[in-house]
Chains A and B, each alone.
Chain A
Amino acid sequence: MLELRSPLRGLSGPIRRYAVSVPTGPWNPAQLGADLALWLDADDSDTITLNGSNVSQWDDKSTKGRNFTQPTASIQPAYLSTGLGEKPSVYFDTATKFIAASTASDWTFLHEAGGSAIFLVIQLQPLGTTAPRYILITRSSPTGILHGIRDLSSGAFPLGTLFENGSTTLPYSPAPAASTPVNETHIIEWEHGLARTNDFGIYVDGVEKANVNYTTAPVGGFTADAPLRFGSAQMYAGEMVVLDVLPSTEDRQKMEGYLAWKWGGI
């Protein structure tokens, strides 16, 4: 806490004293305050509950308490101490493994017009199938959002989104502009919101790779019917940060800078 005294000492009247909170240390997602909807950090081993070498719970570091769990041992991901370079990771070695939040209604904001953003640090491995692998899902059936990746035989790995509102299934898009290589660590962001020029965007390593507008059905107006689920593809995961607003350019770049220096800096 930094205490500042009024410079107006020579004037009549009471001298007011001000107390100003000054954040200390470098920027991190906690400084997004109430906009921070989820923060999973594999580099913070205190947030990982192990079942042997597997992850049974990954605690949310936001104030929302949206911990991710997987009670079934056979589909729990592994915790590796040096999975992403020299940093630890949560490793999904088959597409059957995933970890999930507990309450579907917590994730309605992912479908609302106000917008949202999901930042990931992951290293995908070859999928072995041309069918989409949905890394992030809030749908059982029929409504929800699915963010995923496909393995086209051409060697392209387009990222995309399937957006279902119960009556309209929007195409698996935008693709293939957002293609990202496998076997490399990347920062991937999915974001949506009507404040964007187009409703949906995908950024890879700080570069906008997709920017599309779904004109056949508007964003928003329905709720998720399943809590957010993470996994279902072979990958190493380092960190996931979810915002319940469309981030400003400044905040998006801070997040990219924070993740880049933490997971691929010095």
Chain B
Amino acid sequence: MALELVNKLPYDHPYRWDGTAVGGVKLWRPDELGADLALWLDAADASTITLNGSNVSQWDDKSGNGKHVSQGEATLQPQYDSFQLNSLSTISFVDDILGTSSPLSEVATDWSYTGVMNFTESNPSTADAFLSSNTSASGTFQMDIRSVGGNNALSFSGKDDGGENNTPTALYQNPYNTITGILYCSVDSTGVKTSFNGVQVDSSTATFRTGMTVPVRLGVNRSVANFLNANHAEHVFTTSVLSTEDRQKMEGYLAWKWGLEANLPAGHPYKSTPPTA
């Protein structure tokens, strides 16, 4: 099986990601996107995690933009490595929050988000969110859980260009609490598109291009009131909508890293092998 032994090497092993010197290949990673990379949080990279006991007080941004997320209050700090995906550490949020200290200004009009999540809450309240950059009065963005047609659905929502709150897309229907997968959404002048495990699941022509005006928060919704308990594996924001090729590489990278490649659809270019740089 591809990467069976390579994935077992330690994360910081000198040949874990680039095996060209020893007969392997260089695997594609988000830093191949260069300046388009706005925020990159990777729970598998222990060197980016600052612990307060077993809790996470800071999770460092690997994009180079220094948009680390942190939490100074111990009771709101998530736990590190209590849940693993593909033998890799995740960060477990249970009524916890990590946030940037300033808005993600790199994300303006056109952008994308890709993440790997494992949702654990069995009975969420409406509007519980795992990622947001809003307040109730302003801002643009939230990944949350809402009631859609009587079912709970993960959704993208926010304040559109016309100033109205909008819930345009549903990422996945019940039972969301068993979801482990790759989430993707893109925002540009044509609207919003959302994908789950490499398959587009919804779209809207509503536009959300006013930029993020408040810090990004993990674990809670835009009003900082509704928590969505989940294990966070990786989050990546880019400053433009990914090309189809780059989106598929991102999905392939995340799938092969977190052991989700079997969830990619037939025909996905990285269903049987991971992307290379």
Q: Which residues of A contact B (CB under 8 A)?
A: 26-28, 85, 121, 185-187, 205-207, 253-254, 256-266
Contact of B23 among A27, A185, A206, A253 (CB under 8 A): A27
Query: Is B21's CB under 8 angstroms from A259's CB?
Result: no
Query: Is B2's CB under 8 angstroms from A265's CB?
Result: yes
In the bound complex, how far is the Cα of B15 from the Cα of A254, in angstroms?
8
**B1-35 residues at the A interface, CB under 8 angstroms:** 1-10, 13-15, 19-25
Query: Is B274's CB under 8 angstroms from A259's CB?
Result: no
Digit string of B91-102 for contact with A (CB within 8 Å is 1, else 0)? 000000000000
Residue of B nearest to A259 (CB): B5
Contact of B19 among A28, A185, A257 (CB under 8 A): A257
Chain B nearest CB, measured from A121 CB (Å): 8
Q: Is B125 an interface residue (CB 8 A)?
A: no
Contact of A264 among B6, B14, B276 (CB under 8 A): B6
Chain A nearest CB, measured from B24 CB (Å): 3
Query: Is A26's CB under 8 angstroms from B21's CB?
Result: yes
In the bound complex, how far is the Cα of B13 from the Cα of A205, in angstroms?
10
Tell me which residues across on chain A come within 8 A of B178, comparing CB atoms: none
**B38-89 residues at the A interface, CB under 8 angstroms:** none
Contact of A260 among B1, B5, B21, B273 (CB under 8 A): B5
Contact of B6 among A121, A254, A265 (CB under 8 A): A265
Query: Is A260's CB under 8 angstroms from B6's CB?
Result: yes
Chain B nearest CB, measured from A55 CB (Å): 23
Residue of A nearest to B274 (CB): A266
Tell me which residues across on chain B come within 8 A of A263, comparing CB atoms: 5
In the bound complex, how far is the Cα of B6 from the Cα of A266, in angstroms?
9
Chain B nearest CB, measured from A182 CB (Å): 15
What are 13 A-B contacts with C-beta separation under 8 Å?
A: A26-B22, A27-B21, A121-B5, A186-B5, A206-B13, A254-B15, A258-B15, A261-B5, A261-B24, A261-B25, A263-B5, A265-B19, A266-B273
Residue of A nearest to B9 (CB): A206
Tell me which residues across on chain A come within 8 A of B22, comparing CB atoms: 26-28, 254, 257-258, 261
Query: Is B4's CB under 8 angstroms from A28's CB?
Result: no
Taking A206-B13, A265-B3 as given, write out 15 further A-B residue pairs in contact, using a Cβ cutoff of 8 Å, ordered by the A residue number.
A26-B24, A185-B4, A253-B14, A256-B9, A257-B13, A258-B23, A261-B15, A261-B19, A261-B25, A264-B4, A264-B5, A264-B6, A266-B3, A266-B25, A266-B276
Query: Is B4's CB under 8 angstroms from A85's CB?
Result: yes
In the bound complex, how far is the Cα of B10 from the Cα of A254, in angstroms?
13
Given A253-B15, A260-B15, A266-B2: A206 in contact with B8 (beta carbons within 8 A):
yes
Tell me which residues across on chain B come within 8 A of A256, comparing CB atoms: 9, 13, 15
Residue of A nearest to B24 (CB): A261
Given A264-B3, A265-B3: A205 in contact with B9 (beta carbons within 8 A):
yes
Chain B nearest CB, measured from A158 CB (Å): 18
Chain A nearest CB, measured from B275 CB (Å): 10
Tell me which residues across on chain A come within 8 A of B15, comparing CB atoms: 253-254, 256-258, 260-261
Contact of A26 among B8, B13, B20 (CB under 8 A): B20
Chain A nearest CB, measured from B28 CB (Å): 12
